[in-house]
Copies of this chain bind each other. A is one copy, B any other.
Amino acid sequence: MGASAELTQVTADRGGRLGTRLADRWLGERVQRSIEAAAVRLELWDGSSSYAGPQPSIGDLIVLDRRTLLGLAINPELWFGESYMAGRLLVRGPLEQIVEALTANAPVNVSWRQRLRMAIARRNSIRHSRHNVHHHYDLGNPFYQLWLDRELVYTCAYFADPGMSLEAAQIAKLDLVCRKLRLRPGERVVEAGCGWGALAMHMARHYGVTVKAFNVSREQLTYARDRASREGLSDQIEFIDDDYRNVSGEFDAFVSVGMLEHVGLQHYRSLADVLRRSLNRETGRGLLHFIGRDIPRPLNAWISRRIFPGAYPPTLAEVTKDVLGPCGMSVIDVENLRLHYRKTLAHWSERFAMAKDQVRLTYGEAFRRAWELYLAGSQAAFATGWMQLFQVVFVPRESHPPSWTRADVYESRSSIEP
């Protein structure tokens, strides 16, 4: 059933059963005003609307019942996702464009509700971290294989050339990370949060380093170990089923791509301790690649409930002050790849849409709708500057930057092909 046929059907069903009262219309107007600047039209279950924004609107939100309308009025950040996921809020028009317009027009100031959520954020103990990671990353490798690139890299890609494929851009990202770290053959690298092992394998194969790669996702580790073994890299890479807080040993390089968002502010000192004890003070350098913010703000309430429990994208100030400062590290390079993440997410959304029947079949429609919205919402956040993607390179204060300028990162363009 196509989206528009589905809409007609549902609207017809509900419209007959349920009229709107004065209170509904008042609430509807209230919600409509809050999204009018985004040129998004709100339609109630009986087809009524008080839209008075720019003409034409870019799309419609169709509220199917009173409870959903109330949720949107009281706590839109949570209820937009909850009701979209449950199919009680339908979208007529281009989902990505509509979500982007809503995001671009959302209030910039941090609300009391958001402050409260930051204040009472639960600590990510080692047990909770395992649980949180399991919630998201252990959905089954076949699920991620449906829509990620061939290497299964589930972080922002680097489109060295804006037109390159996702496969090429993920390899380009892995290589960019290696070049920024100036890896040399024989060096020892520790990776915190290694996903399916693509970076560890890239470093080992193309830069001749040995890697200790930490992860608490069983599914990912099984896959990574198997692949390393098949590709003859088991001697160079040790995949370790443990929390980043238990990293031991001394290394020339520390790298973490897409883990810091899951650490949580309360544990930055633990991460600082890991960096302090694991990086060689003479030769060491590190790279943190993470989703960040311009100003402190909790993760979207719905994403936090349904997609990434325990996650918090930090500001650059929080990372430099609470992680790098306390362990005596100097920032030597920061790059913001925000629009590269927008493009990465556009690729993922496209692939996810192509796999939608299979996702619906295996995981159910609510799950499919949740992930569709999560991908569209993330794309919107990077498109509008609500979220940033930082790569931060650092060295121990008393050591020297690994390179005199950054020109080498761009001159030694890798010839590695996907």
Contacts and interface: CB of A to CB of B under 8 A. Distances in A.
A20 interface: no
A316 interface: yes
A404 interface: yes
A316 B334 CA distance: 11
Contact of A398 (B104, B321, B334): B104
A271 to B, nearest CB: 16
Contact of A317 (B316, B406, B409): B316
Contacts of A397: 294, 385
Interface string A323-352: 011101111111110110000000000000
Contacts of A388: 330-331
B325 A330 contact: no
A162 interface: yes
Interface string A235-274: 0000000000000000000000000000000000000000
Nearest to A327: B294
A384 interface: yes
A306 to B, nearest CB: 26
A160 interface: yes
A400 interface: yes
A407 B410 contact: yes
Interface string A310-323: 00000111101100
A131 B275 CA distance: 44
Number of copies of this chain in the oligomer? Answer: 2
A388 B295 CA distance: 24
Contacts of A399: 385
A217 to B, nearest CB: 31
Listed residue (A317, A318, A407) with the most chain B CB atoms within 10 angstroms of its CB: A317
Nearest to A332: B336
A332 B407 CA distance: 17
A405 B332 CA distance: 18
Given A294-B325, A336-B331, A384 B398 contact: yes
Contacts of A231: none
Contacts of A315: 320-321, 325
A385 B410 contact: no
Interface of A is mostly: mixed
B325 A295 contact: yes
Interface in A104-121: 104, 108
A417 interface: no
Interface residues of A, number: 44
A369 to B, nearest CB: 29
Listed residue (A159, A325, A400, A405) with the most chain B CB atoms within 10 angstroms of its CB: A405
Interface in A379-418: 384-385, 388, 390, 397-401, 404-407, 409-411
A328 B104 CA distance: 13
Interface in A159-189: 159-160, 162
Nearest to A295: B325
Contacts of A320: 315-317, 320
Contact of A316 (B162, B295, B316, B326): B316
A408 to B, nearest CB: 9
B328 A317 contact: no
Contacts of A329: 294
A294 B328 contact: yes
Closest CB pairs A-B (n = 3): A334-B334, A317-B321, A385-B397
Interface of A: 104, 108, 158-160, 162, 294-295, 315-318, 320-321, 324-326, 328-336, 338-339, 384-385, 388, 390, 397-401, 404-407, 409-411
Given A315-B320, A316-B316, A334-B334, 11 more contacts: A108-B328, A158-B405, A160-B405, A294-B397, A295-B325, A315-B321, A316-B320, A331-B336, A332-B336, A385-B399, A406-B406
